[in-house]
Chains A and B, each alone.
Chain A
């Protein structure tokens, strides 16, 4: 009501809106959540959540916990980078979890060692020719899987004009079928040391951070990024201004596919195994990370920084629950509530902004 009293026709320059990027809200939420865990930790566990109170590390922080907070979201975070771009175009990608499953199976079968503990690899998928291959082979095979899945998604959406929800839903079901069919449901294990190194230690985090920085700049400073936002804000206007919308959409979904495939390579390397059930529900976690990070499901708004903060919130919550030894049942309930809460906030923020402008 105050608005009508001050501004005429709602055309008021709103300082609070201009000076405060949406990412800042997410950052504040992240800090608040950390503070809640710190307070509860001091109250219930007599231990600090993020700080080293027992002299176990050289720094003042509990390094082990800081590491796992990022490590456990790095792989889904890689997927979320692609999903963020898809959502910014106003689309959605439900297929990433299944692409992870299928790619992990296919890539891993080219990454196997010939011998385990001195006897032949019991999980061998192909003959001796596919054993002990250089690490580039499984990685390239994996990325190729991502390209194929992404191109199919993109072409279906851009040229047959079926909604992204349906196209990627189809891919979600089919790619999971591929994952199961590839080795008839059998797990594929025992990769070479070079392949395992991709997922060892903090490497997944380095890969995630590198890609996040890369795509942050691409989205912010390149034509590709500007077109991505333009299509999501107003597809018709983007088309009018000469953007080849169809070709661009194919590109965006292909990048999302490649990132999901890369996540699959890292995931299977980290676990030293590929299983057809890998990546189930990852698509929803990735979407949730983006949405919590302020990426709008109606397109046109959001950023890589936001998604990274969303991923961190996820990591902090998972580690915080384990830190507090909260019962597993409650963990899922609270996690769900946080996702819904984030979308409610997003809607509310959007409406408020719409009323103001």
Chain B
């Protein structure tokens, strides 16, 4: 009995060793909140599957380091690679390296510049960035109209890192919404970068307020900056019922701020869904199956009405 058990044990060990799929993952950075949720989503999803092993590396926002990591993955014979690109315009070299070695590659969250010319065994899993800024800005516009400000409203725009595609896109989304007839009653007093950071946003907002210009709305490229702006406005004695604040990401801190009545709208980007989607795509490619080369996980607008549905998700 013991021997059979032992033999069975060894067999399973060997078996799993032979069939285990190893996926190398290179994340742009480990200390980003959203990317951490995404990374945890991948890990949990992989842990729930038999024989899938993830080797996750931190590229610390260094393009060259990321390429080295990918080449190391290829050299150690992984079955597939998932890349969260540090610089979305530097993905050509990664695609080439993986393609020439015949290793499947999946880009996650950040759209590679060569997304339309990806080799056959490569794919891109993310949310369509245009949706996020648009959803939030349009909700702000509707809230302002509902508040009877359709005759004219002023606002500020807090931007993420200017070198980042998402920041550029989300700011452009705000501009686009403010350009449509229904919303062109909103004018921006100023736009500045707070580098995605709560602390910088807090100081920036206080600086804005020091000029004494009245305003009705604050658009933030992400929730952290929206929270920073809220903290500054509260410290300045403003009533959060009088100003519309919208962010993007639906982080837990933001959802709780929404519950408290401070934040008016944010946009849920399914980080864990992107993570599991990327692992799925990588496994399918490794097994030689056909995969859609662009997999889009939809954004969802979060308002006080549906905030309860998202509290435990990001």
Contacts and interface: CB of A to CB of B under 8 A. Distances in A.
Q: Please say whether chains A and B are actual partners in one complex.
A: yes
A62 B32 contact: no
A219 interface: no
Interface stretch (A252-260, A269-277, A292-300): A269-277
B207 A329 contact: no
A276 B252 contact: no
Interface residues of B, number: 41
A276 B31 contact: yes
Contacts of B58: 180
Interface stretch (A7-15, A116-124, A240-248, A349-357): A116-124
B203 interface: yes
Given A64-B209, A71-B206, A72-B206, A272 B311 contact: no
A47 B211 contact: yes
A242 B45 CA distance: 64
Interface stretch (B10-18, B83-91, B228-236, B281-289): B228-236
Interface stretch (A155-163, A181-189, A221-229, A336-344): A181-189
B4 interface: no
Contacts of B248: none
A319 interface: yes
A185 B211 CA distance: 37
B203 A71 contact: yes
Interface string A166-195: 000000000000011000111101100000
B211 A323 contact: yes
Interface in B196-210: 197-199, 202-204, 206-210
B159 interface: yes
Nearest to B60: A176
Given A185-B39, A275-B33, A319 B207 contact: yes
A187 B192 CA distance: 24
Interface string A301-325: 0000000000000000011001101
Nearest to B161: A328
Contacts of A201: 235
B280 interface: no
Contacts of A20: none
B36 interface: yes
B258 to A, nearest CB: 10
Given A54-B212, A123-B252, A185 B32 contact: yes
Contact of A68 (B30, B190, B203, B311): B203
Nearest to A122: B252
A200 interface: yes
B5 to A, nearest CB: 36
Interface string A261-284: 000000100111101111000000
B30 A276 contact: yes
Given A64-B236, A117-B259, A184 B32 contact: no
Contact of B162 (A47, A68, A117, A328): A328
A122 B313 CA distance: 11
A65 interface: yes
B288 to A, nearest CB: 34
B36 A64 contact: no
A252 to B, nearest CB: 28
A185 B236 contact: no
Contact of B204 (A116, A119, A272, A322): A322
Given A54-B212, A273-B198, A200 B204 contact: no
A68 B36 contact: no
B128 interface: no
B260 A117 contact: yes
B193 interface: yes
B240 interface: no
Contacts of B32: 185, 277
Contacts of A276: 30-31
A183 to B, nearest CB: 9
B105 to A, nearest CB: 24
A235 B36 CA distance: 47
Contacts of B120: none
Given A65-B210, A322-B208, A328-B192, A186 B203 contact: no
B62 interface: no
16 contacts: A54-B212, A56-B212, A62-B210, A64-B206, A71-B206, A117-B256, A123-B253, A185-B31, A186-B40, A187-B251, A267-B199, A272-B231, A318-B203, A319-B207, A322-B190, A323-B207
The 4 A-B residue pairs with the shortest CB-CB distance in the complex, in nearest-first order = A65-B210, A276-B31, A64-B210, A185-B36
